[in-house]
Amino acid sequence: MKRRDVGEAAWAERSHDQLATVLARIEDAQTMAAFLDDLCTPAEIEAMADRWSVVPLLATGTPYRTIHDRTGVSVTTIGRVARCLDHGSGGYRAALERHTGASA
């Protein structure tokens, strides 16, 4: 992550908010996939996909080792996702609820 001075930090926050707004306005998977392909490297997309793939499994109480065996995602990454799912800003839970239509 880049180090930023106060002015740069404010700019970065605005950029973050603008990106979130753009992402929220994309309504179809094909457009989102194209946007992500343009925005991210293949490794970044793979990392995000890996993180997301473990969210539903964690939400159902699947053990870390089982998740690793099913997905190939590292136990360290699974633990990080679990911490965010339990103590993060609520993004994973909100996305999971929208994805499944049920409270997580």
**74 and 91 within one domain:** yes
Q: Which domain holds residue 63?
A: 41-104
pTM: 0.81
**46 and 33 within one domain:** no
Locate 30 and state its tokens.
């094909």
Distance CA 90, CA 104 (A): 11
**4 and 51 within one domain:** no
Say if residue 61's pLDDT is above 60. yes
**102 and 54 within one domain:** yes
**81 and 71 within one domain:** yes
Distance CA 52, CA 91 (A): 11
Mean pLDDT for all residues in the chain: 91
Q: What total number of domains does the chain contain?
A: 2
State pLDDT tens for residues 11-57. Answer: 788 999 999 999 999 999 999 999 999 999 999 999 999 999 999 99
